[in-house]
Structure 1
Amino acid sequence: MIRLAVIMLLIGGMAGCAGLPPPLPDDARNAPAVATIYVVEYGWHTDIVLPMRPVTGPLTRFRSIFPDAEVITFGFGERQYMQIEHVGFGDMLRAVLPGPGIIMVTAMRAPPMNGKDYAEVAALAVSQPQLDRLSDFVWDALEKTPDDRLVHIKDGPFPGRVFYGSSTTYSGGYTCNTWTAEALDSAGLAVGASGVLFAYQVMDRVNAIAARPAHMQAGGS
């Protein structure tokens, strides 16, 4: 993983400035928190964890796919790399070149825990408008067929994990962590995706937001 980090640092200049999402309207910024989302980190990778009960919109399709799930994690990555069981140095080199993305979806019956499920877990309180925006971002990142079906790539190594195609391109300048930060930005959480490549950058910014009172987490206010 150190060699991969070095490679990604060398090509860090490829990263473009992420487009700023439209600001949350005042009524959405002042809406009460209705749910808790999680940002989880393991190694160099971050995922977003959404509670399924309060989710609205097209992402509710996952309720029928995983009817027993309380929360579902969504993690973006490079399509070929994410499917390799034993990663070699050549795989790392290929992964930093622009290529098709993939979304790893994992159904869980309970929220994630530090040390048990992941190396680090941060919890963020969100309002319904924030959750709706975040859900729409994740849904838009999933690749669909012309008849609006999800593009199933493969089942994971255990029940409850499935890989789906992503419409977003992965590269060394737009990593899983860039995607996580952009998703949170889309919900008005003001993480700041520009320049984000590594997991620690996401977690440092997320933890700073999580330390605020729930009503002050939206929009960085």
Structure 2
Amino acid sequence: MRNTFNLVAGLMLLASFFCVGCSTRWQYLPTDEELNQPLPKIYVVGHGWHTGLVVPASAIPKDLAEIHQTLPFSAFYEIGWGDKGFYQADEITSGITVRAIFWPTESVMHVVSLPKEPQTFFPQSDVVELKLSQQALDKLMVAISRSFARDSQGEILRTQKGLYGQSWFYQGEGSYYMTNTCNTWVAKMLDEAGVPFRTFMTLTSSSVIEQAKEAAANYPCAEVN
């Protein structure tokens, strides 16, 4: 088991040398009118090897209304994407790990109800706050919504209880493999929202957190509100 994780770490470290530079420019910046009021906030959360996104409950679109019904009374939701077998496993084995890395596998979405801000809910995790315009937030939620698999009626598909707190797994869209990880998904979602983020070969949690911090530090409207 230890050798397997050493192999994974080595591959991810090697991949980092082939990463292209990320864009340095924010897109979808707030309008003058938006700058006169508090901007919407999202959060990037790092849990060791895995990252997720925390969004305001009010941002959940109508086509994800099932989340509100299943996990009501939430101030925020943490949403993550990952390998179905690895993410949902009661015990992580070397076989599950190798399969998740070297073969395209099914994906799932993990949704967690947060009754309070993530800095308080996840005191041991890395949390980076990002301010977005309403346009950027809307684009982010469209991208997140597309990550959920749906039935013939367009409803998202709940599978089993989640990992912690009040949470559920849902069937995901897309395949998980070595160069398309949970952390790559977070990078892609933020790129869709116009955050300057590298999507190619962003594989590790540390890479996501570092880029999120850099993006926050270089946000043109960071000191407005």
Q: TM-score, normalised by structure 2?
A: 0.82
Match of 1:2 among 6, 12, 26: 6
Matches within 5 A, 1:61-210: 61-96=66-101, 97-113=103-119, 116-157=122-163, 160-210=166-216
Letter aligned with residue 197 of structure 1: L
Residue 156 (structure 1) shift: 2.2
Residue 115 (structure 1) shift: 8.8
Does the 8 Å contact 2:114/2:121 carry over to 1?
no
Relative to 1, partners in 2 of residues 1:195 and 1:46: Cα closer, same or farther, differing over 3 Å? same
Does the 8 Å contact 1:49/1:72 carry over to 2?
yes
Does the 8 Å contact 1:77/1:176 carry over to 2?
yes
Number of aligned residue pairs: 208
Tell whether 2:41 aligns with 1:50: no
Instruction: Identify unmatched segments of 5+ residues in structure 2.
Output: none
Letter aligned with residue 204 of structure 1: E
CA distance in structure 1 between the aligned counterparts of 2:142 and 2:74, rounded to whole angstroms: 19
Residue 99 (structure 1) shift: 0.9
CA distance in structure 2 between the aligned counterparts of 1:133 and 1:58, rounded to whole angstroms: 14
Residue 200 (structure 1) shift: 0.8
Relative to 1, partners in 2 of residues 1:55 and 1:126: Cα closer, same or farther, differing over 3 Å? farther
Residue 103 (structure 1) shift: 0.7
Relative to 1, partners in 2 of residues 1:159 and 1:42: Cα closer, same or farther, differing over 3 Å? closer
CA distance in structure 1 between the aligned counterparts of 2:166 and 2:132, rounded to whole angstroms: 25
Tell whether 2:41 aligns with 1:36: yes
Relative to 1, partners in 2 of residues 1:56 and 1:86: Cα closer, same or farther, differing over 3 Å? closer
Does the 8 Å contact 1:35/1:126 carry over to 2?
yes
Relative to 1, partners in 2 of residues 1:30 and 1:113: Cα closer, same or farther, differing over 3 Å? closer
Q: TM-score, normalised by structure 1?
A: 0.83
The SS at the match of 1:29 is coil
The SS at the match of 1:177 is helix
Letter aligned with residue 77 of structure 2: I
Does the 8 Å contact 1:114/1:120 carry over to 2?
no
Identity of aligned residues (%): 24
